[in-house]
């Protein structure tokens, strides 16, 4: 209620943090707030109380804005692998002397970045994590962490040594939403599918298995084809 401001002495949020000091008998009073919080941002007013009246509400209040650093970037849960991303360390406080900045990832300092911008170009899956920033010399006042999630459409990766007579597993990963209902495996220049399922295991591999493979992922919204992975079968000498 702007007509009747809240009395700080009765607000539990200020208990132990707000006190009025000064020479009240001389009309001099100071409000001191410790352990400032962002929710302390507000307009503050005063009133002089006498035995017969109160005076002061009619004057404009003093506006206090409490802010800290924050990491900003667009749509943190929908960053696509291979794109360019710029993280920005922002504060509406006026910072003098063109300060340098400190960036953290998962709590560890990134020593190669000292500006308010952190550029990831291109973004890769290893960039996923929690990011925070601070002004150099004020490390104890770091921003809150913000989580970056890196998404990819389809990815194929081989595993195991590809030597004639051995086995190799190709795995297809997807971030599709809704999840993939069906995976199908193909070999380039071969019309019929080779297998189904998220993983394709080739046992007792031979030279004829050499070539490029890709997977097709399907959900109720359609199909998506991955980039291909090359399988190079090495001859086994006896």
**Are residues 161 and 128 part of one domain?**
no
Question: If DSSP codes are grouped into helix, strand and coil, which group holds residue 125?
Answer: helix
Which one of 109, 136, 151 terminates a domain? 151
What is the full DSSP assignment across 187-202? Answer: ETT--S--EESSEEEE
d(CA 235, CA 238): 10
* CA–CA distance, 104 with 109 (Å, rounded to integer): 4
pTM strictly above 0.75: no
Q: How many domains does the chain have?
A: 3
Residue 99, in any domain of the structure: yes
Condensed to tens digits (0 to 9), the pLDDT of residues 194-211 reads: 989 988 888 888 888 888
SS3 164: coil
Domain hosting 138: range is 70-151
* CATH, residue 114: 2.60.40.10
- Beta carbons of 131 and 109 less than 8 angstroms apart: no
- Other beta carbons within 10 Å of 114: 13
Residue 3 lies in a domain: no
Tens digits of per-residue pLDDT, 113-132? 788 889 998 888 788 899 99
How much is the pLDDT for 160? 47
């Amino acid at each position: 209620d702007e007509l009747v401001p809240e009395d700080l002495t009765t607000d539990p949020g200020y208990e132990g943090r707000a006190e009025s000091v000064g020479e009240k008998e001389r009309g001099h009073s100071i409000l001191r707030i410790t352990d400032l919080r962002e929710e302390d941002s507000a307009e503050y007013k005063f009133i002089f109380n006498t035995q017969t009246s109160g005076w002061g509400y009619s004057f404009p209040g003093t506006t206090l804005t409490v802010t800290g650093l924050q990491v900003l970037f667009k749509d943190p849960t929908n960053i696509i692998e291979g794109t360019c991303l710029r993280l920005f360390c922002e504060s509406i406080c006026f910072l003098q002397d063109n300060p340098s900045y400190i960036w953290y990832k998962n709590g560890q300092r990134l020593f190669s970045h000292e500006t308010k911008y952190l550029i990831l170009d291109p973004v890769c899956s290893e960039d996923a994590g929690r990011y925070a920033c601070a002004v150099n010399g004020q490390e104890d006042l770091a921003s809150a962490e913000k989580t970056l999630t890196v998404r990819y459409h389809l990815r194929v990766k081989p595993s195991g040594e590809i030597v004639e007579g051995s086995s190799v597993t190709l795995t297809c990963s997807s971030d599709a939403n809704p999840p993939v209902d069906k995976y199908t495996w193909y070999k380039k220049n071969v019309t019929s599918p080779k297998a189904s399922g998220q993983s394709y295991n080739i046992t007792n591999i031979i030279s004829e298995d050499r070539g490029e493979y890709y997977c097709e992922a399907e959900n109720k919204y359609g199909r998506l084809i991955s980039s291909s992975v090359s399988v190079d079968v090495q001859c086994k000498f006896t």
